[in-house]
Amino acid sequence: MTNKNRWLIAVSAIAIHLSIGSIYAYSVYQNPLNESLGWETTDVSLAFTIAIFFLGLSAAFFGKFVEKKGPRLSAIIAAILFGIGTVGAGFAIYIENYITFLVFFGFIGGLGLGFGYIAPVSTLVKWFPDRRGLATGMAVLGFGAGALITSPVANFLMNTVTIPMTFYILGIAYFLLILLGGLYIAKPPEGWTPEGMEVEEDNDKEGDLASLKANEAVKTLRFWLLWAIMFINISAGIMLLSVASPMSQEITGATAATAATVVGIMGLFNGGGRIVWASASDYMGRANTFLIFFIIQVAAFFLLPYISNIILFSILLFLIVSCYGGGFACLPAFIGDLFGTKQLGAIHGYLLTSWSIAGVVGPMIVSNIYEFTGSYTTTFFVFVGFLITALVLSIIMKRNISKIREENEEPANPEPSPQ
């Protein structure tokens, strides 16, 4: 295991996340399925919602499994589940059975997403103790950018071969890519540190607050603060992603083609924001980075309903979606800062339940408000309230961290209780 190259470990993690990140290209299937099978748009969207829900749920339930059995077995399970889920979805389309489609794509594929998401991330944090933000940013960059590759490929295949065959081809490709990444990825040896790490540690760099197990972490205030912060950040981002095209057209008067271009560029900022923000957090600190996220988003959500210029409107959308992606990228590194890396995968899994719930709540809020008001304006102000709440929670988090550091520095207090 000592002969593993940590940069190749990072490449393996990116390969896994590029595959499962294809879930963000799901909208490319909506019109073809509607036109060929007559399935309503809301029915087709339900499969995506179920997949995201089970991503978070499986990550929570199997986080300890990933820590115990290691990333390789977890990635192999992800390859099997996500591959079967995608190929099975193609079979469901072939036999024109909607329930079978939900089971394969939503349930089985969603389980594969959960295993595939957490397996490489917790491992990378351990390989890059000197650059946690950069490491996790590289991994989840793949998840954010997966749609950029899958969307045009899936569109080309559907226009060239049948829709079921598209799912068969993609399912096999995902299986092989995740499997190849999974076969190389592994935990570093116990006590391993990269060359030069000792020098950096002496440079007044603050260490982790504690080294807690998952069942200890969930009893702390900072765990629930982080859960709530992530829930709000994800709800706001996924709400925009779910209605970006029609919202842009209604508020700015942009054409459908222009709005589609904006949505495509949002994918770049979703992916790029992950590595930029995560890398920056290594220098600014994770708590400060989340404060910046919510300051930006409060201002952007407040301004959006008043901007009719498509360029300015798009810039604000890009900023918001970069914070959305950046939150995912900073999360594993933040977990390491707050709780150590002893059971990072398990703690990460518990926190990803915020994604499961936000994936349902965000789109549900915007669709219900739009249905009652016929406008997106009210939705923006509702989310301004949520984001202000998140900003306040981020300030509380920062103070909580400072308080614990001060207590840890007091020699008279040898072992402070979890907070």
CA distance linking residue 88 with residue 109, whole number of Å? 9
From 118-122, 288-292, 399-403, 415-419, the region with the lowest mean pLDDT: 415-419
Nearest to 90 by CA among 176, 175, 172, 179: 172
Q: Are 206 and 405 within 8 A, CB to CB?
A: yes
What is the model's pLDDT at position 336? 87
Is pLDDT above 60 for 2?
A: no
d(CA 106, CA 221): 33
Q: 40-49, 89-98, 283-292: which has the minimum mean pLDDT? A: 40-49
Higher pLDDT, 1 or 267: 267
- Write the pLDDT tens digit of every residue in 118-160: 878 778 878 887 777 787 777 777 776 777 788 788 888 888 9
Return the residue matching tokens 């748009």.
Answer: 41
Asked if residue 347 has pLDDT above 60, the reply is: yes
pLDDT (0 to 100) of residue 206: 59
List, for residues 152-202, the tens digit of each pLDDT value.
888 888 889 989 999 999 999 999 999 999 888 888 877 777 766 554 443
- Which position has the token pair 């295991």? 1
Please give the average per-residue pLDDT across 285-301, as a whole number.
94
Helix, strand or coil, per DSSP, at residue 412: coil
Domains and CATH numbers, the chain: 1-190 (1.20.1250.20), 210-407 (1.20.1250.20)
The residue-averaged pLDDT of 338-354 equals: 86
Share of the chain above pLDDT 90, in %: 32
- Position 80 scores a pLDDT of 95
Distance CA 154, CA 144 (A): 17
Tell me the per-residue pLDDT of 79-113, one tens digit each, with 9 for 90 and over. Answer: 999 999 999 999 999 998 999 999 999 999 999 99
Per-residue pLDDT for 45 more than 80? no
Write down the pTM of the prediction. 0.77
pLDDT band at 419 (very low <50, low <70, confident <90, very high): low
